Structure 1
Amino acid sequence: MTTAPVGPPDVFDHRMAECATDPAFLAAALPFLEEGLAAPDEPPPVAIAAPDKLDLLRDALGGTAARVGMVPHTDWYTGSASNAVARAAGHLAAHAGPGGRLHLLMEPVWQGRAGRSPRESAEWIRYEALANLLFAPLSTTALCVYDTRTAGRAVVEAARRAHPGSGVYTEPARLAAELDAVPLPPPPPAAERLARPDVGAVRAWAERQGLAEADAELFGTAVGEAAALGGVTGALLWGEAPGCVCELALARRVDDPLAGFVPPAGTDLEPGQGLWYARQVCAYVDLRPADGGGTAVRLQYA
């Protein structure tokens, strides 16, 4: 099953293809890539998929394959879902045509990080949902490939809700809120308390927990960037390397589902980018409502 194009041609077109066999994959991928090759004012389409699927495309396309960008998905999806946002935004900024025009065929690594746990899979479904908002101003056309041999039925069913035209599409903020409704494990009783998240104190604590100096520096800086949201009333620290955790208590509510997902103007990752920096550095950054109208911001390094 492949969802049909939705909306006018000058907005983000977010499609989904489900397949369970190699012929079904080709039946979805080939027309999409041919559409991209024929699109005016566009650079050649790019296929980001498992190496065996790229081989199938090369064989099926023949001489035309040289006109299609081919990227093994393990080279594209090298980190967290937030890192994938940065990779896509950077690629579009550097290589897309006017208005972000480009056809991208995309297959996350469901046999790797994206599918290693329900929590990790939920992060990737969040990425799929928020992509509808993040890339809405662009004229990019994306076909997200879900192979049920690797993605699994539960993941595919959840992904349908993140793709317009699927028949079960759910508004992105609502879907993100549902994902956030799954409770996080409570902090352990032995968690260390800090009155304020001093970067140096967090860095020193992380080193004591076993993080290498460079990683501890990144984690401490990420906590400081998250604290820039303002209104921090305290912090808790727990865990051992590499899974060091810091939870900040904010006196104010942060309701924006895109908080920390919108790419900054520059392409380089650097302090001063707030929650974006924190999401790029940490494996997980969770914002949850807290008692009294506040927000709990939990950062887990790995």
Structure 2
Amino acid sequence: MTDTETTSPGHPFVHPALFYRTPDEYAAGVGGFVRDALDAGEPVLVAVPGGRSAVLREALGAGADGVEFADMTELGRNPGRILAALQGFADRYRGRPARIVGEPIWPGRSRSEVLEATRHEALINTAFAGRPATILCPYDVSGLPDAVVADARRTHPTLIENGRTDSSADYCDPAVVCADCDEPLPEPSNAPPLSYGAGQLGEVREHADAWARGTALSPGRRADLVLAVGEATANSLAHGGGRGTLRLWTTADGTVVAEVRDNGRLKNPLAGRRRPEITGTDGGRGLWIIHQLCDLVEVRAGATGLTLRLHFSG
């Protein structure tokens, strides 16, 4: 294929990666995608890092007024929050094709953030399967590590590069990519575990609150930490074998981390990444709340159980 068309009859959901190297390539590729949507009367969401929005606004001119913009550095600070926002936008226009630009990975993101953003990119293919939408994901190949670009080829069925649109020969099952994102978590130097079981959740919350008072977290963020820990440990009792362990520590850059481990399983990889139904019983409500509260959530679901690492900045 030599054109840049991103829709395909019989396949209502399309998920291309756009590889760009310069601001001009970005403006041409992403701007062209948005203009095509506007010309077709389709709703458009552009969720990109703040500086990229300025490039697009200039390229689109007056057309930018017809676009909904979001700063991905805020929306996607925790990659686990992105999917729900994209689905929420598409849900507002049910029955109509939606076009979305989502740039969840940019130069400077930490390895932990990149892994969770890559997991997000893989899960998009599961969450949007069969929906009439196109999600274009730009990648700055001049500034991102080769491994990140290689993963983009694995998470996107379609690639756009140098003005050409082709199928990705490296695309693979989302479950495979998610498994590869489960890199071993580094061990903290000093974080003794606190074991808990039935009837001890109040003590766990009190312990987390008392410990957090010795950190640089604001009172509001301390409250968020205690609430997230409460949701995670309650999940342990309900879904993780009835008991678990909590560890708390602070990293060298001042980030506060709470880790909850139990014997649970993550049956649905989308749990917590999609807004739960009010009457839902799929167990996703607690994980949803956790994702909304944290700056980063690292998930490791292995044969021995489930680990959640919850990150909080000041």
Give your verdict on TM over 0.5. Answer: yes
Return the alpha-carbon distance in structure 2 between the equivalents of residues 72 and 150 of structure 1: 22
Q: Deviations over 1:214-250 (max 9, x none)?
A: 2222111112212333224232322138533333332
- Residue aligning to 1:243: 255
- 1:220 and 2:220 equivalent? no
Q: Secondary structure at the match of 1:79?
A: coil
Equivalent residue letter for 2:99: H
Between the aligned partners of 1:37 and 1:69, the Cα distance in structure 2 is 8
Q: Does 1:87 align with 2:85?
A: yes
Q: Counterparts of 1:295 and 1:60 in 2: how far apart (Å)?
A: 46
Instruction: Tell me whether 1:234 sits opposite 2:244 in the alignment.
Output: yes
Kindly tell me: are residues 245 and 53 of structure 1, through their superposed partners in 2, closer, same or farther at Cα, counting changes over 3 Å? closer
Distance 1:290 1:158, change over 3 A: closer
Which moved further from structure 2: 66-75 or 124-133? 66-75
Change (3 A) 1:5 1:204: same
Following superposition of structure 1 onto structure 2, how do residues 109-258 of structure 1 map, counting pairs within 5 Å?
A: 110-111=106-107, 115-165=108-158, 166-180=168-182, 182-188=183-189, 190-196=191-197, 197=201, 198-229=204-235, 230=238, 231-240=241-250, 243-258=255-270
- The answer on whether the counterparts of 1:146 and 1:156 sit within 8 Å (CA) in structure 2 is yes
CA shift for structure 1 position 142: 1.2
Aligned to 1:297, what secondary structure does the other structure show? strand
Q: Give the letter aligned to residue 109 of structure 2.
A: R
| Secondary structure at the counterpart of residue 139 of structure 2 | strand
| CA-CA distance at 1:279 after TM superposition | 1.8
Question: What amino acid is the match of 2:21?
Answer: A
Render the CA deviation track for 1:260-282: whole Å, top value 9, x for unaligned: 2122236xxxxx92111112212
**Residue 288 of structure 1 contacts residue 295 of structure 1 at CA under 8 Å; is this kept in 2?**
yes
User: Which residue number corresponds to residue 99 of structure 1?
Assistant: 95
- 8 Å CA contact 1:6–1:164 kept in 2: the answer is no
Residue 265, structure 1, aligned to residue 277, structure 2:
yes
Distance, in Å, in 2 between the alignment partners of 1:202 and 1:3 is 52
CA distance in 1, matches of 2:115, 2:3: 22
After superposition, residues 265-284 of structure 1 pair within 5 angstroms as 265=277, 273-284=285-296
1:258–1:61 CA distance, 2 compared to 1 (3 A) = closer
Q: How far off is 1:289 after superposition? A: 4.5
Shift of 1:152: 4.0
Partners of 1:76 and 1:209 lie apart in 2 by: 23
Q: Partner amino acid for 2:128?
A: F
TM-score for the superposition, normalised by structure 2: 0.76
Match of 1:17 in 2: 18
Cα-to-partner distance string for 1:130-166 (whole Å, 9 max, x where unaligned) = 1112222532211111122343433222112111132
Alignment partners' CA distance in 1, 2:86 and 2:102: 10
Q: Closer, same or farther in 2 for the Cα pair 1:228/1:26, shift >3 Å?
A: same
- Give distance in 1, aligned partners of 2:70 and 2:264: 43
Query: For each residue in 1:157-204, what CA deviation from the matched residue of structure 2 results, as whole angstroms up to 9, or x when unmatched?
Result: 211211113221121111011110x11112545424232443233222
- Structure 1 residues without counterparts, runs of 5 or longer: 267-271
* 2:103 aligned partner, one-letter code: E
Equivalence for 1:36: 37
Q: Report 1 or 2 for greater relative contact order, CA contacts < 8 Å, sequence distance ≥ 6.
A: 2
Matched position secondary structure for 2:137:
strand
CA contact (8 A) 1:12 1:137 kept: yes
Structure 1 CA distance, aligned partners of 2:52 and 2:150?
Answer: 22
Distance in 2 (alpha carbons) for counterparts of 1:6 and 1:167? 18
Would you say the 8 A contact 1:2–1:16 is kept in 2?
A: no
Q: 1:295 to 1:60 in 2, by over 3 A?
A: closer
Q: How far did 1:208 drift?
A: 3.1
Aligned residue number for residue 162 of structure 2:
none
Cα offset for 1:14?
1.0
- What is the RMSD computed on CA atoms of the aligned residues? 3.2
Of residues 257-266 and 69-78 in structure 1, the stretch that sits farther from structure 2 once superposed is: 69-78
Contact kept, 8 Å, 1:48 with 1:76, in 2: the verdict is: no
